[in-house]
Amino acid sequence: MAEVLAEAIDAGRVFQGAGGNVIALKHATCRIERGDRIALVGPSGSGKSTLLHLFAGLDEPTSGVVRWPALGDRHGLRPSKVAFVFQSESLMSPLTVLENIEAPRLLAGADAAEARREASAMLEALGLTAIADKLPEEISGGQSQRVAMARSLVTRPDLILADEPTGQLDHATAGHLLDLMELHLRGTGAALVVATHDPFVAGRMATQWRMDHGVLA
């Protein structure tokens, strides 16, 4: 039987706003198994980011359950078990690119030399060595997305959740990044879930989940 990394059971999420409640997710039931490659597709505002945040343990459902059978409880997921690649800018502005990538390894308990060595290797693998010493404000949006992906991979997580990770990349660069990710993850058993509205990116994943108006089809 496949190992279940994360699952949602009748999960819903309602946000309270000035104009009343907003239903972002309705009765979602799904699971992520080890080795999965899943594209979460749908238009903006369909609930993709909400579902990813629940699976990452960054948010809690207002109804139903989200749990991580093979990974433990919500409070022990990061930085080594679940990695999240945000859609918006998420790099730490005072740190260089290299320091941003090594930060999660340091938080996970690696010594400084080991963290620096692994971060440097990840930069080289993703073709980012030339910007290692630059600050986030000195690099492009596309480069920032690639650095954020490198930061998620360096911890060797069991589950990577990526919210529009190629949104600022052209198809050639996006395809190259996805190839590098797959090469890095091959043989690790890690699962990858990518939220996207780009058919090119979705087509690279083995499975597609479609969302619309908070409903997971």
Percent of the chain at pLDDT above 90? Answer: 68
The answer to whether residue 23 is domain-embedded is no
pLDDT for the residue 215:
97
The answer to whether residue 81 is domain-embedded is yes
The answer to whether residue 30 is domain-embedded is no
Residue 23 pLDDT exceeds 90: yes
Instruction: Give the count of domains, the chain.
Output: 1
The mean of the pLDDT values for the chain is 92
> Which of 109-123, 160-174, 182-196 bottoms out in mean pLDDT, i.e. has the lowest?
160-174
pLDDT for the residue 114:
95
The answer to whether residue 12 is domain-embedded is no
pLDDT for the residue 39:
97
pLDDT for the residue 11:
98
Range 137-162 burial, b when 16+ CB lie within 10 A, else e:
eebeebbbbbbbbbbbbbbebbbbbb
The answer to whether residue 29 is domain-embedded is no
The answer to whether residue 147 is domain-embedded is yes
Q: In the sheet that 207-212 helps form, which strands lie side by side, from edge to edge?
A: 63-67, 4-17, 20-33, 215-216, 207-212, 37-41, 191-196, 159-163, 82-85
* pLDDT confidence band for 182 (50 / 70 / 90): confident
Residue 29 pLDDT exceeds 90: yes
Average pLDDT over residues 47-70: 97
CATH of the domain at 114: 3.40.50.300
Residue 54 pLDDT exceeds 90: yes
Structural domain including 52 reads 35-59+71-209
Predicted structure pTM score: 0.91
Residue 145 pLDDT exceeds 90: no
The answer to whether residue 48 is domain-embedded is yes
The answer to whether residue 136 is domain-embedded is yes
Average pLDDT over residues 66-83: 91
pLDDT for the residue 176:
83
